[in-house]
């Protein structure tokens, strides 16, 4: 191993949105800074930049590459220009578009890359021209990638079967992991008259199951009119229009009295603490961060029986699994959850926390990254235990 000073090492993190850098990836960013790496986050950064830079990283706004050719051209130009300027020793990429463009550009510039397949969404099923192109480009982009992390076995097997990656490139990690000290139980005194609350946290996307959540709310309210359904998360425009929830649609649901909408927040703990059950009817995940966080806070959960959710929930033990894209079945599971006693739900939550501490500790993920960076850059890094200095929460948008 080289004795090269890690303070000379530059790491470029290529992300879709800055949000992930101070939520799912916060622990990893702080660890890299603690090891004296120079860390640059290249992303669509329009807000909370100063909050992220307080971690010791540098944020560079490069916009986003959606499906508009002009946007894609601008994104490629800015990404290339900044990678040439920074001269990073290694790139870390997350999500589809950074994985594709980041890998292609980094290969051209001879920069080693570690890619994280955070999920596939509609990649394999969508018939849109955009996804048809992505399916052709993905294997080209990943062909020379040094390491490809997968968050669930289904995604890994599918990528290998389709020839996107070779088995030797791949490594498994338990999602982004969870900081179980940060996400520890918060026990609130509840008024007996407080309505039972189901909570969805996430981007407002169709493939996250938002329409199923709302329709299940409609069905459940027919039997339990006082039950509340709360949504926390951003109206998301960095996706295909067919997959997004418009503000018009969102406002219709609010006017109907089906949901309460709390906007976006950088700290979801108070929301999780106040709910009775967290729900994620996603069509597919890499490994759901919000399910891990809720479980760590001893909350029972309901989620679709799909990759990235089923690994976290033990059906009937730590939560309930429902049929994917089936709001009627989701409503049945919600009503089952309402029917459990407080003690039964508390016991579910306690078992859930034990499971995520055992299997999904964030330290596992961070250690995997540090180990691979050491190998790729021929380094020997000292062990570091990062003290998590939390970002101050901001008001809901």
Domains annotated for the chain, with CATH where assigned, are 6-177+361-377 (3.40.50.2000), 197-358 (3.40.50.2000)
Question: Would you say 195 and 226 are in contact if contact means Cβ atoms under 8 Å apart?
Answer: yes
Query: Each residue of 195-248: pLDDT tens digit?
Result: 999 999 999 999 999 999 999 999 999 999 999 999 999 998 767 778 889 999
pLDDT at position 168 is: 95
Query: Rounded distance, CA 205 to CA 251, Å?
Result: 15
Residue 392 has pLDDT above 50, yes or no: no
Q: Which of 204, 63, 66 is nearest to 130 (CA)?
A: 66
Q: Helix, strand, coil: what percent of the chain each, to 5? A: 45, 15, 40
Burial of 222 (0-12, 13-18, 19+ CB in 10 A): exposed
- Model pLDDT, residue 395: 30
Q: How confident is the model at residue 7 (pLDDT cuts 50, 70, 90)?
A: low
This prediction's pTM:
0.87
Per-residue pLDDT reduced to its tens digit, 62-111: 988 776 788 889 999 999 999 999 999 999 999 888 999 999 999 999 99
pLDDT at 293: 97
Q: What is the pLDDT at residue 386?
A: 52
SS3 state of residue 73: helix
What would the pLDDT profile of 319-364 be if each residue is shown by its tens digit?
A: 999 999 999 999 999 999 999 999 999 999 999 999 999 999 999 9
How much is the mean pLDDT over the chain? 91
């Amino acid at each position: 191993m080289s004795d090269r000073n890690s303070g000379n090492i530059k790491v470029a993190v290529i992300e879709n949105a800055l949000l992930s850098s101070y939520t799912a990836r916060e622990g990893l960013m702080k660890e890299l800074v603690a090891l004296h790496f120079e860390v640059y986050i290249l992303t669509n950064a329009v807000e909370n930049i100063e909050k992220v830079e307080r971690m010791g990283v540098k944020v560079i706004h490069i916009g986003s590459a959606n499906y508009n050719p002009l946007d894609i051209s601008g994104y490629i130009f800015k990404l290339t220009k900044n990678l040439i300027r920074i001269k990073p020793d290694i790139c870390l990429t997350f999500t589809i578009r950074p994985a594709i463009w980041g890998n292609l550009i980094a290969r051209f510039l001879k920069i080693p890359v570690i890619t994280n397949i955070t999920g596939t969404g509609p990649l394999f099923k969508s018939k849109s021209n955009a996804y048809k192109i992505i399916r052709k480009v993905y294997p080209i982009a990943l062909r020379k990638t040094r390491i490809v992390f997968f968050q669930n076995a289904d995604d890994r097997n599918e990528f290998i079967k389709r020839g996107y990656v070779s088995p030797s490139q791949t490594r498994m990690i338990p999602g982004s992991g969870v900081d179980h000290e940060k996400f520890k139980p918060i026990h609130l005194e509840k008024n007996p008259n407080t309505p039972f609350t189901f909570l969805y946290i996430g981007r407002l996307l169709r493939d996250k199951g938002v329409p199923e959540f709302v329709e299940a709310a409609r069905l459940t309210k027919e039997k339990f009119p006082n039950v509340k359904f709360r949504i926390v998360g951003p109206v998301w425009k960095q996706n295909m229009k067919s997959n997004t929830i418009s503000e018009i649609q969102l406002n219709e649901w609010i006017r109907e009295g089906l949901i309460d909408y709390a906007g976006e927040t950088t700290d979801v703990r108070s929301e999780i603490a106040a709910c009775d059950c967290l729900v994620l009817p996603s069509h597919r995940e890499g490994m759901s961060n919000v399910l891990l966080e809720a479980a760590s806070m001893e909350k029972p959960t309901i989620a679709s029986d799909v990759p990235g959710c089923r690994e976290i929930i033990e059906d009937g033990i730590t939560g309930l699994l429902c049929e994917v894209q089936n709001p009627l079945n989701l409503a049945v599971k919600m009503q089952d959850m309402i029917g459990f006693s407080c003690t039964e739900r508390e016991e579910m939550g306690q078992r859930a926390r034990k499971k995520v501490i055992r299997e999904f500790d964030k330290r596992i993920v961070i250690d995997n990254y540090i180990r691979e960076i050491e190998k790729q850059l021929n380094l020997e890094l000292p062990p570091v235990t990062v003290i998590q200095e939390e970002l101050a929460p901001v008001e809901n948008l």
